[in-house]
Amino acid sequence: MLQADGVQAGSVLLLDSVKNSTNGSLPVGNATAALHDALATNNKFQVVPDTQLASAKQALGLSVDDSLGSRSKAIGLARYVNAQYVLYSTVTGDVKSPTLKMQMMTVPSGEIVWSGNGAVQH
């Protein structure tokens, strides 16, 4: 993802909450926080801070806990915070050996500029 074509260093990234589509319960809040921390320490993206995200959700009439289930809602929020990209993450499969699937989309066009998947490391 950090090597995606055309992505400028310093681009603003809206990180959507990790979604659980496995056959069990997973701590997706922890997964989202870990992903946020990992992305915040690189020089490629500026991740939208949680406080700015909460304020933007409130301004748009969304619950602070809204997981942005629809892509159109996430794109609208990304436009509001001036993000260039949105990263969607979904955990699928068996809860004992889940797979993480990710897609990064440009905000202006909705084009998927990067996608990847892999086994979740516990």
pLDDT over 80 at 121, yes or no: no
Residue 7's pLDDT band (boundaries 50, 70, 90)?
A: confident
Give the chain's domains with CATH numbers: 12-119 (3.40.50.10610)
Interval 33-48: pLDDT, tens: 999 999 988 888 999 9
26/4: higher pLDDT: 26
pLDDT number for residue 8: 84
Provide the 8-state DSSP code for 63. -
